[in-house]
Amino acid sequence: MPIALPPLTIFIVEDNTWYRELLAYRLGQNPEYHVRQFGTAQACLDHLHQSPERPDLVTLDYSLPDGQGDEVLKRLRVPLPTVPIVVISAQEDVSTAVGLLRQGAYDYLVKDEETADRLWHIVHNVRQQVGLQRENELLREQIGQKYDPTHAILGESPQIRSIWTLIDKAARTNITVSVSGETGTGKELVARAIHYRSERRNQPFVAVNVAAIPRELIESELFGHEKGAFTGAISRRIGRFEEAHGGTLFLDEIADLDPNLQAKLLRVLQEREVSRVGGGKPIAFDARLMVATHRDLAEQVQQGLFREDLYYRLMGLPIKLPPLRERGQDILLLAENFLRKFCLLNHLPALGFSTEARHKLLQYAFPGNVRELKAVVELAAVLAEGDTVRPQDLSLRNAALGYASESAGNETLREQVAGIVQRYLDAHHGNILQVAQLLQIGKSTIYRMIQNHEVRVR
Ligand SMILES: Nc1ncnc2c1ncn2[C@@H]1O[C@H](COP(=O)(O)OP(=O)(O)OP(=O)(O)O)[C@@H](O)[C@H]1O
């Protein structure tokens, strides 16, 4: 299925105001084209220098007051090495055209009454190409993310580099892996990375959060049950251990497993067989086991809350993930990555962080670690004005995150933000200016949400 294309940004560099307006008007007829106009080459270069916004296509007048086509083309190629640049000239001159094309111009057009239409076709073609390229990038990113820890588990800190090494080592054998670390540090991500690097990569990866399943259901969830095993067991059910056959079983929050099930798990690991609740013959268990916990399992053993024999069985290769606040500049690297991806997936123009916003991120402790950073960055992308994320867009206090927890669990961040804005609009009789002031967001953000049918003025 083709992906929805983000708007195409076009820079028009042309000193003749009338002609520039004409091109902008023609291209602007497609609402998916964002046109930005510049009267000189320098104005365009200054913009490229000061803003993270990058065009998908540039039209360049051959004779500008501050430079000739070939020379300006060369200067534009520095910040825009691969962006198509269409040169538009008042005169038809074959040798100039050939020279420009050799220099990497995308096309050469002569100004006449058909230029705007020809440009329209060129832009249409570029749009198709950009679409294919983005689709490719997205697919490559998805595959890369799945298999390569250096793509999936971002970071450049020494702590993360040593985690990559451990992942590679773990992936070479079937050793049980126990991942520990605070909430949101990426424990499940590490487990997945090991699975997708291992020989079991084409078999299932089954993740079970032990703490999330009610006590009375967990046994049948893990081991399955036979029909009639208990009231309500109206048909046979395959357990997660069986489901993971040939692949990997990831038991998250293992410290929360109740003592009875700890004993049963120990038996399964010793005998490499599982039995469904309610009988039947034992079934061979062939899955690689990985476990995770945010608690200190050794301490749980000391306190008598976790079986010591099971602890030694499960420990295998321990991988301890560092909290985000101890990973220094990784905070910025992750933040930029989340911002880029969010903009790409939501068809927003590219955004960057202001210097003050970076400081604010670096000063915060991130108790929710990477998960919290991701949520904060995605919300900031929605709230940002223009092309920059400012400190006030970063909702680092609990108050702002409190809104999120009020909402239904499955909503996306974007839906949650829309929900907040809608509530304010309703409460203030659709007064956009007032709502923008109260929420400290720009009016244009609200207009954009109305245009995208995310909120309504009722
Ligand atoms: N190093 C990283 N690079 C990119 N994304 C990361 C990284 N670490 C974590 N994430 C992202 O952060 C989020 C939380 O990660 P994950 O669910 O693996 O954490 P966890 O430690 O298992 O959390 P919990 O303790 O709550 O189960 C996910 O969206 C994950 O993709």
Q: What's the pLDDT tens digit per position in 47-79? A: 999 998 999 999 999 999 999 888 999 999 999
Q: Is the CB of residue 252 below 6 angstroms from any atom belonging to ligand 1?
A: yes
Residue extents of the structural domains in the chain: 8-144, 149-322, 325-451
pLDDT at residue 399 tops 80: no
Residue with the smallest CA separation from ligand 1 atom 8 is: 186
**To test the ligand 1 pocket, which listed residue (142, 164, 189) has its Cβ within 8 A of the most ligand atoms?**
189
Residue 352 to residue 335: CA distance in whole angstroms: 10
Q: Are 401 and 395 in contact (CB under 8 A)?
A: yes
Task: Give the CA distances from residue 210 to residues 104, 186, 216, 353, 369, in Å, rounded to whole numbers and listed in that order.
Answer: 58, 17, 12, 38, 21
Residues 6+ apart with CB under 8 A from 91: 110
The pLDDT tens digits for 17-38 are: 999 999 999 998 888 899 999 9
Q: Is the CB of residue 186 below 6 angstroms from any atom belonging to ligand 1?
A: yes
Q: Is the CB of residue 184 below 6 angstroms from any atom belonging to ligand 1?
A: yes
The per-residue pLDDT for 428 is 73
Q: Are 232 and 216 in contact (CB under 8 A)?
A: no
Q: What percent of the chain has pLDDT over 90?
A: 51
Ligand 1 centroid – CA 318 distance (Å)? 17
Mean pLDDT, to the nearest integer, of 127-143? 76
The pLDDT tens digits for 295-304 are: 989 999 999 9
Q: In which band, very low, low, confident or very high, does the pLDDT at 401 lie, cut at 50, 70 and 90?
A: very low
- Mean pLDDT over the full length of the chain: 86
Residue 312 per-residue DSSP state = H
On whether ipTM exceeds 0.85, the answer is yes
pLDDT at residue 138 tops 80: no
The per-residue pLDDT for 242 is 92
The per-residue pLDDT for 400 is 37
Ligand 1 centroid – CA 79 distance (Å)? 34
Q: In which band, very low, low, confident or very high, does the pLDDT at 355 lie, cut at 50, 70 and 90?
A: very high
**To test the ligand 1 pocket, which listed residue (148, 192, 296, 370) has its Cβ within 8 A of the most ligand atoms?**
370
Mean pLDDT, to the nearest integer, of 250-266? 93
Fold match, 8-144 / 149-322: yes
Neighbours of 122 (CB within 10 A): 17
CATH superfamily of 149-322: P-loop containing nucleotide triphosphate hydrolases (3.40.50.300)
**To test the ligand 1 pocket, which listed residue (179, 180, 319, 371) has its Cβ within 8 A of the most ligand atoms?**
371
Q: Which atom from ligand 1 is nearest to the alpha carbon of 191?
A: 18
What is the rounded end-to-end Cα distance, in angstroms, of the chain? Answer: 35
CATH number for the domain running over 8-144: 3.40.50.2300
Residue with the smallest CA separation from ligand 1 atom 23 is: 184
Instruction: Match 């440009």 to its residue by tokens.
Output: 119
Q: Parallel, antiparallel, or unpaired: how do β-strands 288-293 and 177-180 relate? A: parallel
Q: Is the CB of residue 374 below 6 angstroms from any atom belonging to ligand 1?
A: yes
Instruction: Match 């039947």 to its residue by tokens.
Output: 280
pLDDT at residue 440 tops 80: no
Residue 27 to residue 33: CA distance in whole angstroms: 7
CATH number for the domain running over 325-451: 1.10.8.60
SS3 8: strand
The per-residue pLDDT for 419 is 76
Judged on CB neighbours under 10 Å (0-12, 13-18, 19+), 62 is buried
Q: Which has the minimum average pLDDT: 127-136, 225-234, 271-280, 364-373?
A: 225-234
For 430-456, b/e burial (b = at least 16 CB within 10 A) is eebeebbeeeebeeebbeebbeeebbe
Ligand 1 centroid – CA 428 distance (Å)? 38
Q: Is the CB of residue 155 below 6 angstroms from any atom belonging to ligand 1?
A: yes
The per-residue pLDDT for 232 is 67
Ligand 1 centroid – CA 396 distance (Å)? 18
pLDDT at residue 407 tops 60: no
Mean pLDDT, to the nearest integer, of 348-375? 91
Q: Is the CB of residue 294 below 6 angstroms from any atom belonging to ligand 1?
A: yes
pLDDT higher for 347 or 289?
289
Residue with the smallest CA separation from ligand 1 atom 13 is: 371
The per-residue pLDDT for 229 is 67
pLDDT at residue 319 tops 60: yes
Q: Which atom from ligand 1 is nearest to the alpha carbon of 321?
A: 21
Residue with the smallest CA separation from ligand 1 atom 28 is: 371
Written as six digits, the tokens of 106 are 């995308």
Q: In which band, very low, low, confident or very high, does the pLDDT at 233 lie, cut at 50, 70 and 90?
A: low
Task: Bin 399: left if φ > 0, else alpha if -120 < ψ < 50, else beta.
Answer: alpha
Q: Is the CB of residue 188 below 6 angstroms from any atom belonging to ligand 1?
A: yes
Q: Which has the minimum average pLDDT: 48-52, 139-143, 288-292?
A: 139-143
Mean pLDDT, to the nearest integer, of 129-138? 79
Q: Which amino acid is at 299?
A: E
For 124-134, b/e burial (b = at least 16 CB within 10 A) is eebbeebbeeb
